[in-house]
Amino acid sequence: MNDKVIWITGASSGIGKALAIKFAKEGWKVAISARREDLLNEIAKNNQNIFPFPLDVTDYEKCKLVFNDIKNKLKNIDISFFCTGMHDPKSEKELNIEKIKQIMNVNYFGTINSINAVYNYYKEKKTGQISIVSSVAGYRGLPAAGGYCASKSALTTFAESLYFDLKRFNVRVSIVSPGFIKTPMTDQNDFLMPMIKSPEFAAEKIFKGLTKSNSFEIHFPKQFTFMMKILKVMPNWLYLKIVKKGMSLIGR
């Protein structure tokens, strides 16, 4: 085990869990957080490098308390990786306002709460990294995903602003923009998901991006994300026409 430490939120399943296991196998100490304490304990039980710190990121004060607990126990936090997220495609089709508020509260404000907890720590230390999981869904609005796309778009632009704020203090800010990854969240989707990859695939790409690169954005799989980047810069009339046609092809 080396002396490197990463804190991962949203670590009870999906990308967060796979990334925690990947970093632990690479010899890092890994602090994992999520609401489901039983799942965190199960992950930690099977990995001696992983330490559970239960947390609901929508609790502003608890985010600060948990961060301090991690700092006191593990002494140093090199990377803070904020991966908490939710999506409810069924309710979005019905424009369920309460559910959209919940999505924004978890995905956007929950991540902001987490960033707030570590902001001064990195600013004063003048080293380290904050990484935020967004999505290619944040590039443009997609069907039946208004709340989700909005939350991810907000995270991406917030990360861009944070990049400039913290670069002056030698702190790296990065954004992760995955395509479709097979997780409990994407299992809710009732349409074809092109080039869907496993959480382990995502973990390998993220590990490499966080530890062996200085890029602002870590995105994958490249064949899919480059197509999404082309859509991002298209004029509105063309983008809307292509997505409308694509909806019929994938059964939406």
Domains in the chain with CATH codes: 5-249 (3.40.50.720)
pTM summary value: 0.93
Q: Label residue 88 by pLDDT band (50, 70, 90).
A: confident
Residue 167: the pLDDT is 97
Give catalytic residues, as residue numbers. Answer: 148
Give start and end residues of each alpha helix (H) in the chain: 14-25, 37-45, 60-74, 89-93, 97-103, 110-125, 146-167, 199-211, 222-233, 236-249
Residue 191: the pLDDT is 65
**Helix and strand numbers, DSSP H then E, in the chain:** 10, 7
Residues 28 and 25: their CA atoms lie apart, in Å, by: 7
Section 207-224 average pLDDT:
96
Section 66-94 average pLDDT:
90
Is the pLDDT at 215 greater than 90? The verdict is yes
Q: What is the mean pLDDT of the chain?
A: 92
- Report the half-sphere exposure of 42 (CA within 13 A, side-chain side): 9
Residue 79: the pLDDT is 98
Is the pLDDT at 161 greater than 60? The verdict is yes
Section 80-99 average pLDDT:
85
Give tens-digit pLDDT for 11-27. 999 999 999 999 999 99
